[in-house]
Amino acid sequence: MTDSLLATERASAIDRAVDDLVRGEAAWAACGLARRRELLERVGAATAAQAEAWVRAAVAYKRLPDGSPLVGEEWISGPYPVLTSTGALAASIKALEEGRSPVDGFSVRRAPGGRVAVRVLPHSVWDQLLLSGFSAEVWMPPGVTEETVRHRAGLGQRRPAETGGVGVVLGAGNITSIPVLDVLYELYAHNRVVALKLNPVTDGLFDVFTRVLAPLIDLGVVRILTGGADVGTYLVHHPKVGHVHMTGSAATHDAIVFGTGPEGAARKKAGTPLLDKPVTSELGGVSPTIVVPGEWSEADLRFQAEHIATQRLHNGGYNCVASQVVLVASGWPQKDRFLAHLRAALSDAPQRPAYYPGSDDRVAGAVASYGDAERVGGGRVLIGNLDPAQPGPALTTEYFAPVLAVMELPGDTRQFLAAAVNTANEKLAGTLGVNLLAHPRTIAALGPALGAAIAELRYGTVALNAWTGVGYLTATAPWGAFPGHTLDDVQSGIGVVHNAVLLDGPERTVVRGPFRPAPRSILHGETALSPKPPWFVTHRTAATTGRLLTDFAAAPRWSALPRLFASALRG
């Protein structure tokens, strides 16, 4: 078979899939809210039935060791968030069916800067039990009223018959729930039928995804395609496709939107895209973790070092929101001890293969760029004491690999926090997520200044004593870059996904977590009862806990809690 014939056959297959979706758009327009909710419930049931096969396929392509606790990552970032999202989206549709706003039942308060904040976690008794001490709020832009938030929530489902054409989703290759969640958001937030093009890294999940999305495929509103960049290029430029959503890097985005090489660079400079249709995206960046100085115990230092190691090494470092730069106070008396714990946590974390293409080259590039880069176990690299006056690749390039850098900034607690916020906003590429770690006494001493700092940070998700990945896992929270980016300065992307409450135009998600895990939290008078989170790379029973958590999400029930709690506590 010649290359040209292969290309022709492939193009014909894509044309047929798009034509199916053009016809399917009418079927989607004819679906009322009750039918759409029922389809979500069926996707949730299919996800539960396929969860085991889903995780096996992910473990295979990521080459995780048999019996490793790291398998827990695939449960918690694969079928689990799809189960919680289908349930939360179904609840929003149910509210609209009954003439209510999806926001009804969620508490609302005033946030700094004249913002309305919708508390989306905890929302149920299950949230309070399983995620004790964790919370999440969605902050709307300044000036948006509570009445407006309630009136506009629902997005495309307020007018289900007004469909939005055919959209393309270019699926991610790292976190396996991303493609399915993006498909659901296109359908339910924007009323677009969807052609999902899988990243070749995830082709082993084709059969699983086909079974999970079967209710939507059978209706004719979803098609799944595989292939390389040639398939993606043909698909996004297809004349019957009206919108593109992608997950990846800013460089990949620019290649799709403007083209490659000198011609692509010239188009970007001139602001004349090669792709003549709207594009939304989630693109990652250089995510920072700000360590606010305080008086920490040795156990605090060790736990938060493991926390940052997780922020960097979860999924091998191949996360769009993996922490890349740690900002610490140069005058913090405990700085050296904390950095020693951080070095040990990076070194001692479980080893895993570098499964994502190009990882070894990116690690080698980081070592070549910084003479004091230190290899700290396996293929991991720690870069010490970046100079804030000398921008380099650690600040401007998302490594998408197990590389972590440290930058020291001067000043007392308040001065350091102000400098860290400015550095995060002005020196680091991207606006997807930023983490802050602060002792409860420091939080109390800072008072409103901490809320003001959170408001000043221009990031789509801000996490205090939690990893921004918790925002990804919170179905009711929007996930995406800080608003305002453009095609020619895309940073971490345009638009949001997830957002199961279907809020219109959110500004950011603010996540809060416990500074200490139970039982130490209880001994120090904190209300949080959560043990070490199962997404920590150091969690010894993460595989069992992740499986049990996914099973619970499929069918929440009191009888499942004792075994789930016991597994989590053993971690």
Give the chain's largest Cα–Cα span.
Answer: 72
pLDDT of 75 > 90? The answer is yes
- CA distances in angstroms from 63 to 60, 98, 264, listed in the order given: 5, 47, 36
pLDDT of 5 > 70? The answer is no
Cα 305 to Cα 294: distance, rounded to the nearest angstrom: 15
What ranges make up the beta strands (E) of 52-209? 108-111, 115-121, 135-139, 166-170, 193-197
| Contact present, 170 and 52 (Cβ < 8 Å) | no
The reported pTM is 0.96
- The phi and psi torsions of 552 (rounded to 5 degrees) equal -65, -40
pLDDT of 3 > 50? The answer is no
The DSSP H or E segment spanning 408 is: strand 403-409
Cα 16 to Cα 36: distance, rounded to the nearest angstrom: 25
For 398-415, what is each residue's pLDDT tens digit? 999 999 999 999 999 999
For 102-116, what is each residue's pLDDT tens digit? 999 999 999 999 999
Q: Is 123 helix (H, G, I), strand (E, B) or coil?
A: coil
Q: Count of residues for the chain?
A: 571
519 prior amide bond cis, ω within 30 = yes
Q: Is residue 214 exposed (0-12), middle (13-18) or buried (19+ Cβ within 10 Å)? A: middle
327 is written with which tokens? 């900002």
pLDDT of 373 > 70? The answer is yes
DSSP conformation class of 198: -
Regarding the domain with residue range 287-459, which homologous superfamily does it belong to in the CATH classification? Aldehyde Dehydrogenase; Chain A, domain 2 (3.40.309.10)
For 216-259, what is each residue's pLDDT tens digit? 999 999 999 999 999 999 999 999 999 999 999 999 999 999 99
| Contact present, 192 and 165 (Cβ < 8 Å) | yes
Q: Predicted confidence band at 1 (pLDDT cuts at 50, 70, 90)?
A: very low
pLDDT of amino acid 524: 85
- Helices 229-236 & 3-30 angle (0-180, nearest 10): 50
pLDDT of amino acid 530: 85
- The phi and psi torsions of 169 (rounded to 5 degrees) equal -115, 120
What's the topology of domain 13-41+88-116+149-282? Aldehyde Dehydrogenase; Chain A, domain 1 (3.40.605)
Cα 507 to Cα 144: distance, rounded to the nearest angstrom: 10
- The phi and psi torsions of 124 (rounded to 5 degrees) equal -125, 170
For 505-532, what is each residue's pLDDT tens digit? 999 999 999 999 988 988 888 878 889 9
Average pLDDT value for residue range 354-359: 95
Average pLDDT value for residue range 329-341: 97
Lowest mean pLDDT among 6-10, 156-160, 369-373: 6-10
pLDDT of 470 > 80? The answer is yes
The count of C-alpha atoms lying within 13 angstroms of the C-alpha of 377, restricted to the half-sphere facing its C-beta, is 16
For 34-51, what is each residue's pLDDT tens digit? 999 999 999 999 999 999
Average pLDDT value for residue range 307-335: 97
Q: Where are the domains of the chain?
A: 13-41+88-116+149-282, 287-459
Non-local CB neighbours of 25 within 8 Å, separated by 6+ positions: 163, 165, 166, 193, 221
pLDDT of amino acid 390: 80
Average pLDDT value for residue range 271-283: 94
| Contact present, 379 and 400 (Cβ < 8 Å) | no
Lowest mean pLDDT among 147-161, 442-456, 467-481, 528-542: 528-542
pLDDT of amino acid 6: 54
pLDDT of amino acid 508: 98
Average pLDDT value for residue range 415-427: 97
Q: Parallel, antiparallel, or unpaired: how do β-strands 243-247 and 166-170 relate? A: parallel
pLDDT of amino acid 4: 52
Q: What is the mean pLDDT of the chain?
A: 95
Residue type, 277: K
pLDDT of 2 > 70? The answer is no
pLDDT of amino acid 498: 97
